[in-house]
Amino acid sequence: MKTKEVEIQEYLKKIKSIDHNNTSEHSYRTALENLIESLNLNQNIIQEARDKTLEIDGTPDFSIYLKVSKSLIGFVECKKITTDLKEINQSEQIQKYSKTIKNIIITNYRQFMLLQDGKIKSQVTLLEDKWK
C-alpha cells in the first residue's frame, strides 16, 4: 500500500502534466477523485451527485458521504487551476451551499480551503502557483 505522501506526489505529477492553458476545471477532476479515494478517509466521493432530498441551487462538483452510514457530510467545489480561492469563498454560490451543508471544500486543485458553517476552518497549498 502506498503512503499518503506518495499518493499526493502522484496527484501533483498528474496535475502538472495537464496543460492548464487549454483545459477547464473538469480536466483535473479524475485526479482529485483518485487522490481522495486513495487516502482511505472512510468516505465516498461522488462527482456531481445531486441529492434530490436537498434544496440547493446548483450542483456541487463532488458530494462526500461517510462510507458506513452513507450520510452526506460535505461538498467539494472545484475551480480553474488559476483561480484565487479567496475570491470564491464568499461567492453567492458558496454561500448558498453553506446554507445546505456544514462542510465545503473549495479547491483550484493546487490549494484547498475547508469552510465550516461558511467560515474558513483550514487551508493548505500543495502546489505553488509558480509551477506554471
DSSP 102-119: SEEEEE-SSEEEEEETTE
Q: Is pLDDT above 70 for 109? A: yes
Structurally, the chain folds into a number of domains equal to: 1
Check residue 23 and give its pLDDT: 83
Better-predicted residue by pLDDT, 57 or 120: 120
Distance in angstroms (rounded) separating the CA atoms of residues 2 and 109: 21
SS3 70: coil
Q: Which domain holds residue 16?
A: 4-126
pLDDT, tens digit, for every residue of 22-78?
Answer: 888 888 989 999 998 888 788 888 887 555 666 666 788 999 999 888 899 999 999
Give the bridge partners for 30, in sequence order: none
If you compute the radius of gyration of the chain from its CA atoms, what whole number of angstroms results?
15
CB 94 within 8 A of CB 106: yes
Say how many residues make up the chain.
132
> Confidence band (pLDDT; 50, 70, 90) for 115?
very high
Check residue 77 and give its pLDDT: 94
User: Which CATH number is 64's domain given?
Assistant: 3.90.1570
Question: Looking at the domain assignment, is residue 111 inside a domain?
Answer: yes
Check residue 131 and give its pLDDT: 53
Better-predicted residue by pLDDT, 109 or 130: 109
C-alpha pair distances (Å), 122 with each of 70, 84, 103, 105, 111: 24, 16, 11, 9, 11
85's grid cell: 480561492
Check residue 119 and give its pLDDT: 94
C-alpha pair distances (Å), 97 with each of 3, 5, 89, 127: 33, 31, 11, 26
Check residue 51 and give its pLDDT: 58
